[in-house]
Amino acid sequence: MNQLNPSTMTTQDNWWRGATLYQIYPRSFADTNGDGVGDLPGITAHLDHVASLGVDGIWLSPFFTSPMADYGYDVSDYCDVDPVFGTLDDFKVLMARAHELNLKVVIDQVYAHTSDEHPWFIESRATRDNPHADWYVWADAKPDGSPPSNWQSVFYGPAWTWDARRKQYFMHNFLPEQPQLNVHNEAVQAALLDAARFWLDLGVDGFRLDALNFAFHNQALTNNPRARHKNPSRPFDFQKHTHNMSQPELVPFVERLRTLMDSYGARFTVAEIGGDDPTREMQLITRGETRLNTAYNFDFLNDKSMSPREIAHVMAKWPDATWPSWAFSNHDSMRVVSRSAQGRDPQGFAKLMMALLLALRGNMFIYYGEELGLHHADVPFERLLDPEAIRNWPETLCRDGARTPMVWDGAAAHGGFGTAEPWLPVDARHLAQSVMAQEADPASMLHFTRTMMRLRQASPALRHGDFRLLKADANILAFTRTEGHETLLCVFNLGHMAGTFKAPESAWHSVLTLGGAAPDKARVPVLGAWIARK
């Protein structure tokens, strides 16, 4: 075990602060064994591409043993690799290669629930008096046979499923195949921390903690109050989620986890926090030096406008004493180009969004294919695999459209993803945006991403500095980033019409321009942006 005394840590242990991580969805990155599913060796084979972007590390979505009811977020063994992705030795090779390339490796941890095929749950559901009987959330039916509370699952229907073996209901905030762990149980907490220790001993650099505020429930099983939702699309939307999640017991647990992480030195934690009041909760569990490092925001993942005023409003919620993390696209959300371009040139908009993301204050997550400007793929109904999309078709977002294969070579079969028909279809429109095609084009989105990443990595102001808003109207967003003696002025036209911004009197030297904008021009065209240094 490679443990360190926290008192020996240096400032290098804050490598994560201001870092940019590249999210890889393992099923969709590269298939090396011809089964149509991406795998760990496929990731390893393409780490040079990731490193060429200039990012600090990778975040791997789940690759653990799983029956794949929710594509890996239903874990049946926390400490092994699912055979569809390879072996534990394949993961060790991947991590070693990443570290050779100076890439940190961050992996998912899923602490709120397991698969119903996990050995813990198989034993728990067998009887009411076995060693794992209290490891999940079980409750008796009401006298009329109805569920113990009115709680609804995120995906569809009640958060309770009847089990004839125990003659009780078990709770699940997501699919019935994802039974809720009883993290109030000290033995469950110890087992989860043991799983974390397993991966830390192997050398991972940090964890992204999936659906973390779903890990604790109100043990009184109090009914959730009604919510006034403007456009409900599922039963979950009709309630305020006061009691099935976001409980105060989460704070002591994250402090236990932070103590473990600190014992390994330079390790990183980012929590996924959603719900009714996510900012308050994110700041609560990242406050001070005894809790988590940062939290993964949904504000921009759900924002269709990406307007100056909305960006300014969100950033205002994160003052200098707090440290956020941002993403514009991920595996659960529509890709930003499709969500927010709204008729503007897709590639110009993709560049604008990349420049904005990497100019903001906080940690950044780039989703695979975002460096290519990929749009949300069209997946026909007969090829859908996302359980939420299938059950709620056609009303809810199809997450499969964000998970289609990476396009490496537009002239190769399946975009260079692999030799067999992929698990999800390649969108034919993506082929022209392949890595190989963009490598050959100096004006491509890929080359722009590298340029913007070099600027961020070379600038203390962009990586660590404060954020001061100067202007946010219908079109123009302008702000400064300052660290020490360096100040950068960042100006973006996020609107649909040309705007104006007159730089404060000073000698501003352009370090990046986009779309014909420049510091010496008051007019900022649509999709235009500039960043300048004093």
Phi, psi of 60 (to 5 degrees): -100, 120
Phi, psi of 271 (to 5 degrees): -100, 140
Helix, coil or strand: residue 80: strand
What distance in Å separates the CA atoms of residue 270 and residue 319, rounded to the nearest whole number? Answer: 18
Task: Given the residues 56, 70, 210, 299, select the one marked as catalytic.
Answer: 210
For the beta carbon of residue 70, count every other beta carbon within 10 angstroms: 21
Q: Where are the alpha helices (DSSP H) in 317-379?
A: 336-340, 346-359
Give the CA angle between residues 261, 367, 396 to the nearest 5°: 105
What one-letter code names the amino acid at 273? Answer: I
What distance in Å separates the CA atoms of residue 380 and residue 425, rounded to the nearest whole number? Answer: 9
What distance in Å separates the CA atoms of residue 399 and residue 212, rounded to the nearest whole number? Answer: 20
Task: Calculate the alpha carbon distances from 264 to 91, 199, 202, 260 in Å.
Answer: 20, 11, 11, 7
- Decide if 262 is catalytic: no
Residue corresponding to tokens 């969805």:
25
Give the CA angle between residues 108, 113, 114 to the nearest 5°: 85
Residue 324 has which token pair? Answer: 């956020």
Task: Given the residues 56, 272, 281, 299, select the one marked as catalytic.
Answer: 272
For the beta carbon of residue 131, count every other beta carbon within 10 angstroms: 10
* Strand bridging mode 476-483 / 466-472: antiparallel
Q: Where are the alpha helices (DSSP H) in 133-246?
A: 186-202
State the DSSP code for 224.
Answer: P
Helix, coil or strand: residue 281: helix
What one-letter code names the amino acid at 59? Answer: W
Helix axes 250-262, 186-202, angle to 10 degrees: 30
Among 533, 493, 534, 499, which Cα is nearest to 515's?
493
The answer to whether 46 touches 30, Cβ cutoff 8 Å, is yes
Among 206, 271, 207, which Cα is nearest to 245's?
271
Among 163, 164, 125, 169, which Cα is nearest to 151's?
169
Among 491, 465, 532, which Cα is nearest to 18's?
465
Phi, psi of 58 (to 5 degrees): -125, 150
What distance in Å separates the CA atoms of residue 489 and residue 510, rounded to the nearest whole number? Answer: 9
Question: Which residues sit opposite 180 in a β-bridge?
Answer: 113
Residue 49 has which token pair? Answer: 């591409």
Q: Where are the alpha helices (DSSP H) in 101-231?
A: 119-124, 186-202
- Decide if 272 is catalytic: yes
| Catalytic annotation, residues | 210, 272
